[in-house]
DNA sequence: TCTGGGGTCCTAGGACCC
DNA sequence: TCTGGGGTCCTAGGACCC
């Protein structure tokens, strides 16, 4: 059996942990730049306010219902996530951290356990130990565990833990699950399936396997089998799985027209990618830079380009990656536009141990720089993020995000923790 | 005024190998 | 006259996930 633990309204719940005063108030969290609503507490969902709506469109409701809004604080959410995962590891040996707020548990070998009881204990312990309410779904496959989790969340009667362990329960659950709610079925497949009158997950499992395979590739076939109770997706503990691509991009707080401002942003994104590369012991083989204007304003002149460069020799040296990112930027920059967003994508990555050297390499300083990097990373670790940056990253900082409602990093920055006055 | 960010997997087709 | 069979690697684009 597999378990899926999912934190309820994760970001909103994180904001509540250190704010008992808003525990029963509607709480919402905004995307970067305070753009869209990306997390909602139960109360907001009940008001019918949709996921992903632009902030400015709901300002009136925020006032009317006294909704507490926060800018996203990923440092806080990341740390709270670690706490949840750590507690889960006390209950099962094999866990797959699937996302910031989800983890799969492997109950292989727990046949003698009463999994329903054990599951309730997990839910209770994590909720109590972190302040983050969680739900658990248990079933013979990961896809079914996802289904079970939705029921655990929806119906309080399950006490946070729903288990699909009989054929009757499986069929009933699938009949009550819309096909669009199945893990792996997105908008396109939903549209396609609805065309053939496949509305719920059970109907999907009754379609011929060959038809699914022919129309939805092996991915669809895998989901079909998983829903039919045949495990096809193994637990992935994600040990030492280096990333195959990385991206750092942001929409700017203010639009930028001059290349200097873009250089500053692109250099910062490049430096962030470089640090990430070093963290996983990899180097960039090729790099892409993109810039574009605000496509939500079609009345303004639009411009969007990207440029991919192959590096002469793969590297993770910040200065070098910044250099090539800026070369790419110069190739695509055009004056006369108001740029709203830029990004750096490392499109090709290779492990440091497999770098192909260049006989005619002109950068004779790479080794020297490479020795500096660990020192820079060390200085920037822990509480000292950004204590040492490249000069190219400095300037007007016009690109910096709007974050007007950010909460303190309660658990990771001493200086952020509010002083409690005792009377 | 105002609209997020970061990933993975699969397929088809081209180029190439022996 | 006539021209095989079996592979790999790479990339762009699509679909999906949180």
Query: Rounded to 5 degrees, what are φ and ψ at A239?
Result: -75, 130
| Hits for CB < 7 Å against strand B across A residues 119-158 | none
Protein contacts on strand C: list nucleotides below 7 Å from a Cβ: 11-12, 14-18
Q: Which residues contact A256 (CB under 8 A, 6 or more apart)?
A: A262, A265, A338, A339, A398, A399
Instruction: Tell me the pairing of strands A339-351 and A246-256.
Output: antiparallel
Q: How many CA atoms lie within 13 A of A252 on its CB side?
A: 25
CB A14 within 8 A of CB A77: yes
Strand B contact with A268 (CB < 7 A): no
What residues have CB less than 8 Å from A21, skipping those under 6 apart?
none
Rounded distance between C-alpha atoms, residue A171 and residue A417, angstroms: 50
The CA distances from residue A347 to A283, A291, A309, in Å, are 11, 16, 9
3-state secondary structure A293-328: ECCCCCCCCCCEEEEEEEEEEEECCHHHHHHHHHHH
* A186 C-beta neighbours (distance < 10 Å), count: 9
Question: For residues A278 and A298, is the Cβ–Cβ distance under 8 A?
Answer: no
The pLDDT of residue A363: 76
Whether residue A107 contacts residue A93, with contact meaning beta carbons closer than 8 Å, is answered with: no
What span, in angstroms and rounded, lies between the C-alpha atoms of A397 and A374? 26
Pick from A248, A357, A354, A363: nearest CA to A317 = A363
Residues 46-65 of A with CB under 7 A from strand B: 52, 54-56
Residuewise pLDDT in 10s, chain A (423 residues):
999 999 999 999 999 999 999 999 999 999 989 999 999 999 999 999 999 999 999 999 999 999 999 999 999 999 999 999 999 999 999 999 999 999 999 999 998 999 999 999 999 999 999 999 999 999 999 999 999 999 999 999 999 999 999 999 999 999 999 999 999 999 999 999 999 999 999 999 999 998 998 899 888 999 999 999 999 998 887 666 778 888 999 999 999 999 999 999 999 999 999 999 999 888 998 899 999 999 888 888 989 888 888 888 889 999 999 999 999 999 999 999 999 999 999 988 888 887 777 777 777 788 888 899 999 999 988 777 788 999 999 988 888 888 899 999 888 877 776 666 666
Note whether A349 and A285 are within 8 A (CB).
yes
Q: Which residues pair with A165 in a beta bridge?
A: none
The predicted structure's pLDDT at residue A423: 61
Distances (CA, A) of A306 to A165, A266, A267, A303: 50, 12, 15, 10
Contacts of A207 (CB under 8 A, 6+ apart): A196, A198, A224
Q: How far is CA A21 from CA A7, A26, A45, A81, in A?
A: 21, 11, 20, 22
Measure, in angstroms, how far nucleotide B5 C1' is from residue A150 CA.
Answer: 25
Count CB neighbours of A346 within 10 A. 27
Tell me, what's the pLDDT at A308? 87
Q: Which nucleotide in the DNA or RNA is closest to residue A192, CA to C1'?
A: C15
State residue A235's pLDDT score: 87
- Which residues are in reach of strand C, CB within 7 A? A 98-102, 146, 182-190, 308, 348
Tell me if A37 sits within 8 A of A30, measured CB to CB: yes
CA A132 → C1' B4, Å? Answer: 24
- If one counts every other C-beta atom within 10 angstroms of the C-beta of residue A167, the result is 9
């Amino acid at each position: 059996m597999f378990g899926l633990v999912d934190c309820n309204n994760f970001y909103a719940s994180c904001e509540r942990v250190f704010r008992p005063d808003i525990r029963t108030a509607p709480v919402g969290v905004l995307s970067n730049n305070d753009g869209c609503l990306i997390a909602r507490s139960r109360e907001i969902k009940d008001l019918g306010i949709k996921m992903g709506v632009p902030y400015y469109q709901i300002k009136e409701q925020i006032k009317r219902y006294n909704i507490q809004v926060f800018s996203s604080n990923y440092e806080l959410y990341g740390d709270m996530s670690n706490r949840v995962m750590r507690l889960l590891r006390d209950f099962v040996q094999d866990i797959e951290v699937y996302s910031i707020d989800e983890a799969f548990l492997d109950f292989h070998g727990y046949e003698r356990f009463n999994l329903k009881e054990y599951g309730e204990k997990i839910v209770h312990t994590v909720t109590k130990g972190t302040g983050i309410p969680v739900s658990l779904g248990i079933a013979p496959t990961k896809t079914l565990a996802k289904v079970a989790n939705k029921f655990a969340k929806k119906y309080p009667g399950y006490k946070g833990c729903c288990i699909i362990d009989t054929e009757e329960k499986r069929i009933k659950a699938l009949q009550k699950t819309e096909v669009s709610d199945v893990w792996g079925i997105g908008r396109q497949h939903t549209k396609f399936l609805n065309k053939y009158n496949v509305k719920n997950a059970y109907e999907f499992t009754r379609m011929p396997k060959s038809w699914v395979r022919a129309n939805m590739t092996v991915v669809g076939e895998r989901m079909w089998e998983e829903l039919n109770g045949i495990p096809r997706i193994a637990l992935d503990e994600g040990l030492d799985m280096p990333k195959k691509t990385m991206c750092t991009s942001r929409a700017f707080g203010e639009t930028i027209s001059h290349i200097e401002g873009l250089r500053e942003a692109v250099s910062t994104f490049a430096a962030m990618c470089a640090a990430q590369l070093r963290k996983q012991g990899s180097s960039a083989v090729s790099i892409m830079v993109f810039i574009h204007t605000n496509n939500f304003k079609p009345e303004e002149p639009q411009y969007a380009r990207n440029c991919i460069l192959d590096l002469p020799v793969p590297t993770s040296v910040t200065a070098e990656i910044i250099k090539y990112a800026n070369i790419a930027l110069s190739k695509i920059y055009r004056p006369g536009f108001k740029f709203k967003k830029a990004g750096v994508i490392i499109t090709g990555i290779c492990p440091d141990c497999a770098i192909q050297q260049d006989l005619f390499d002109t950068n004779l300083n790479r080794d020297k720089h490479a020795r500096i990097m660990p020192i820079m990373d060390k200085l920037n670790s822990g509480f000292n993020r950004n204590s040492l940056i490249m000069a190219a990253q400095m300037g007007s900082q016009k690109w910096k995000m709007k974050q007007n409602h950010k909460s303190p990093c309660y658990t990771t920055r001493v200086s952020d923790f509010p002083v409690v006055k005792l009377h």
